[in-house]
């Protein structure tokens, strides 16, 4: 079966031939037009059926995405809650690690820079304007005071 594009091309060519003959249609051309119309109808029906299948599948996937998105969020929230509980136990015991039978956990720190772009010195700002976070972080860690920026350290649990 021809593609929709090919059917359209054949139809256009046939119309050009008919037009060049002054609009007179021969019985053979009439049959060709009829065949092309049937082929177009069949191809359109194929497209409609396929689109319908894709829409149904997309709807099912959307439902699954919502369902599993909620499950994913629940799991991530549970992980965060459990890690906070382990961190509390480490802080209560004033230790940075606890060994278990199947692994160990260690208290570590993540660092992020909080800043106010309009208060930063020009050396920390690119042309865009975007703050040069890595440079700010390096200077803050080296003890420099930077107006409009502060280093934030947050503890987190790493499982080995």
| 2-34 tens-digit pLDDT | 899 999 999 999 999 999 999 889 999 999 999
Total domains in the chain come to 2
Residue-range definition of the domain harbouring residue 127: 96-159
d(CA 127, CA 14): 60
* Cα–Cα nearest to 158, from 117, 97, 115, 114: 97
Query: Domain for residue 86, yes or no?
Result: no
Query: Domain for residue 139, yes or no?
Result: yes
89-142 tens-digit pLDDT: 999 999 999 999 999 999 999 988 888 888 888 888 876 656 688 889 999 999
- Cα–Cα distances in angstroms (integers) from residue 81 to residues 13, 87, 94, 98, in the given order: 69, 10, 20, 17
52 and 17 both lie in a single domain: yes
113 and 51 both lie in a single domain: no
Query: Domain for residue 134, yes or no?
Result: yes
d(CA 84, CA 139): 30
10 and 67 both lie in a single domain: yes
108 and 151 both lie in a single domain: yes
62 and 100 both lie in a single domain: no
Query: Domain for residue 84, yes or no?
Result: no
- State the pLDDT at residue 116: 86
Q: Are strands 104-115 and 149-159 parallel, antiparallel or unpaired?
A: antiparallel
């Amino acid at each position: 079966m021809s593609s929709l594009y090919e059917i359209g091309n054949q139809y256009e060519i046939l119309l050009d031939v008919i037009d060049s003959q002054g609009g007179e249609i021969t019985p053979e051309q009439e049959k060709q037009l009829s065949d092309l119309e049937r082929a177009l109808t069949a191809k359109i029906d194929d497209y409609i059926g396929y689109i319908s299948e894709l829409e149904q599948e997309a709807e099912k996937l959307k439902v699954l995405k919502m369902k599993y998105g909620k499950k994913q969020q629940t799991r991530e929230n549970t992980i965060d809650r459990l890690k906070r509980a382990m961190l509390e136990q480490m802080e209560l015991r004033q230790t940075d690690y606890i060994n278990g039978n199947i692994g160990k956990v260690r208290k570590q720190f993540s660092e992020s820079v909080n800043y106010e772009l309009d208060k930063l010195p020009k050396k920390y700002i690119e042309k865009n304007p975007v703050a040069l976070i890595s440079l700010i972080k390096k200077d803050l860690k080296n003890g420099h005071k930077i107006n409009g920026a502060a280093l934030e350290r947050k503890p987190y649990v790493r499982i080995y």
